[in-house]
Chain A
Amino acid sequence: MRDFREFVTIGFNNLRVYRLRSTLSLIGIIIGITAVVTIASIGEGSKSKIRKELKKMGTELISIFPKPVYFEQSENYSVSVTTDQFPLTKNDLLSIKKNASSVGNITEMIQKGHELGKECVVVWGIDVDFQDIAIVNVLQGRFINRIDIDMRRNICAIEMNRVAQKALKGTPKIGDLVSFGNRSYRIVGLVKREAFWIQRFTEMMDVYVPISVLEEEGSENKGYYAKAVSEDRLSNATYEIETILQSRRLGKKIFKAQSYGEYLKMQNKIIRVVTLVVGGVALLSLLVGSIGIMNVMLVSVGERTREIGIRIALGALRSDILLQFLIEAIILCIAGGIIGIIVGLIIAWIAAPLLQVPFIISWIVVFIGVTFSVFVGILSGLYPAFKASKLDPIEALRYE
């Protein structure tokens, strides 16, 4: 049995002697591994961010809205205008509650757009189940309750965000009056909604009022928010809702049920595609690096022809010679890999806050870096090592 460590020692020795050449040949590998590690790390960070957001938003949530007929463009925002030919009714809601077994909870709601100063305000007419489905936390005061809805009270709860602060000129006080359109509401609570993060082109202020108040003004833009019994039955729930609504409307598909989980899955997919594309470029640079290493190894085999002859005369097997050169290439690439991993992680650490993703040192990333560098080492070392092992010892000994 060979003392395997000796191959490693010999390898290190040779690399140390040709320090400059080794370092130069490493640059390609370093760049490649750096790119792979950076991308993998940022990718992991993005995924974890999305996973967190998914959890926060509630992956089991579904929104049901009439399909927009056209969009109305205003100076600051666009509003989707829908047909009121087949509005959603209380009976639709009851039918879904009764027949859709994958739906855990469902609530109806109306959204209306207003302006307050220069800010856009969305007034949500909500029912009691909204608090549970949208996960509304009360920061101050209280949220809208059954009695408010039954009594059609002109009260509101305000979603606290930057826009609300701006539109109301500071934090509003409980008991104050605010007006949207031609109606005034008394503020009963300041709240924060966890679910239903909605992608908007401009930030808006959200205000919650009893649905009964808005119903008095007509039922435009009525929609449902639903929650599946569990995350894995989300698509069942979506399908059930759509089927029930369609069957109640002579087979016409006027409503679109959309789950937030799916939306986020799509975003995940986009990230994956980007990772793959950039990762491909990184692999390409690894390939170029690998050719560089191969070149250096070939030069090294040429220079050490005599050494190979001596070693064979002293009893080395061809496989010993092969292994020695292969290990040298692998050492070279692992060294490049380690540097690449460190540089890659540093870049990821700098870039993560800029891209608003958390910085994560995952073992998968390090593992990928090391695996790739060993792989490149074998890839680039195999041919030169094979060539070295095939040298004729007599010719090699004669070689000057």
Chain B
Amino acid sequence: MLISISNGWKIYNKGPQEVTALREIDLKIKKGEYIAITGPSGSGKSTLLHILGCLDIPKKGEYRFDEKRVDGLSEREIAGIRNKRIGFVFQFFNLLPRINILQNVGVPLFYAGEKKDKREKWAYEALKKVDMEHRALHSPNELSGGEKQRAAIARAIVNDPDIILADEPTGNLDTKTGLNILNLFGYLNEEGRTVIIVSHDLRIAKRAKRVISLQDGMIEKQ
């Protein structure tokens, strides 16, 4: 099992109030799955994604990544998982504004400790995969929304991760461009990668092989 959460809870302390973002989450994900996580806003989708992406840990219950309890790992090991095993794709692309696309795609390689020539070579290959090599030396603000998201996907796959985690990847794109991006995710899944997408987008739910819908922090159906 690649990912398993058993009886996962997430509770935030916001001032005097306690907000329960997730409760009684039981979730198992196998390698190669294509999953859509849906639900209204405030249902805990993003929190679940953060836990899956090792940016957060559940307050109660346990999260195992590749059979290892994440809360027992060191900072270095967790950073290693985020760096090499998981590729993040965000709603607002989150490209770094002051460096060009090639350098942006190379950032995960930098944190993996690769030298500059390898970073450039592999980043360029990743850009080729998403048909963006012609934009390699452009700055992010010279790109359209769709192009930015493709560059972000190139960055997500540059370290050849097992899992792609996407948070509303089509939320800021027009219908046609969004479709393009979705096709790209389908292609990545066909390559054998586990794709997990958080979205309201019904088209995503249709394409995904498995849909998990959240309501008030609980899994309604899966």
The total of Cβ contacts below 8 Å across the A-B interface reads 64
Q: Are A315 and B115 in contact (CB under 8 A)?
A: no
Contacts of A316 in B (CB 8 A): 79, 111
Interface of A is mostly: helix
Contact check, A315 vs B55: say whether CB atoms are below 8 A apart. Answer: no
The stretch that binds B, out of A215-223, A303-311, A373-381, is: A303-311
A14 near B90: Cβ-Cβ < 8 Å: no
Contact B155 A314 (CB under 8 A): yes
- Known: A314-B107, A314-B111. Contact between A3 and B82, CB under 8 A? no
**Which of A3, A10, A311, A314 is close to B113, meaning CB atoms less than 8 Å apart?**
A3
When distances are taken between beta carbons in the complex, the residues of chain B under 8 Å from A17 are: 98
The 0/1 profile, CB within 8 Å of B marked 1, for residues 368-398 of chain A is 0000000000000000000000000110010
Interface residues of A in 309-346 (CB under 8 A from B): 310-318, 320
Contact B116 A311 (CB under 8 A): no
Min CB distance A100 to B, Å, is: 74
Q: Check B111–A3 contact: CB distance below 8 A.
A: no
Q: In chain B between 127 and 176, which residues have their CB closer than 8 angstroms to a CB of chain A?
A: 155, 159
Q: Which of B76, B94, B98, B110 contacts A2 (CB 8 A)?
A: B110
Given contacts A318-B75, A394-B56, contact A6 B110 (CB under 8 A): yes
Interface size on A, as a range, is 20 to 34
Q: Which of B111-133 contact A (CB under 8 A)?
A: 111-116, 119
Question: Does B53 lie within 8 Å of A315, measured CB to CB?
Answer: no
Residue total for B at the interface (Cβ-Cβ under 8 A):
29
Name the B residues within 8 Å of A5 (CB-CB): 116
Q: Is the CB of B96 within 8 A of A310?
A: yes
Is there contact, CB below 8 Å, between B98 and A317?
A: no
Cα of A13 to Cα of B90 in the assembled complex, Å:
24
Tell me if B50 counts as interface (CB < 8 A to partner A): yes
A3 partner residues in chain B, CB cutoff 8 A: 110, 113-116, 119
Which chain B residue shows the least CB distance to A393?
Answer: B55
Interfacial chain A residues near B82, Cβ < 8 Å: 312-315
Evaluate whether A317 and B115 lie within 8 angstroms (CB atoms) in the complex, with A13-B99, A397-B94 already known: no
- The minimal Cβ–Cβ distance linking A312 to chain B, given in whole angstroms, is 7
The reply on A147 being an interface residue by CB < 8 A is: no
Q: Shortest Cβ distance from A400 into chain B, in angstroms?
A: 9
Pairwise interchain contact B75-A317, C-beta atoms closer than 8 A: yes
Query: Roughly how many angstroms separate A307 CA and B92 CA in the complex, as a whole number?
Result: 12
CB distance from B16 to the nearest CB of A (A): 20
Interface residues of B (CB under 8 A from A): 50, 53, 55-56, 75-76, 79-80, 82-84, 88, 90, 94, 96, 98-99, 107-108, 110-116, 119, 155, 159
Interchain residue pairs A-B with the least CB separation, the first 5:
A315-B83, A315-B111, A310-B94, A314-B108, A315-B82
What are 17 A-B residue pairs whose CB atoms fall within 8 Å in the complex?
A2-B110, A2-B113, A3-B119, A6-B110, A13-B98, A307-B96, A312-B82, A313-B53, A313-B82, A315-B84, A316-B111, A317-B76, A317-B111, A394-B50, A394-B55, A394-B56, A397-B90
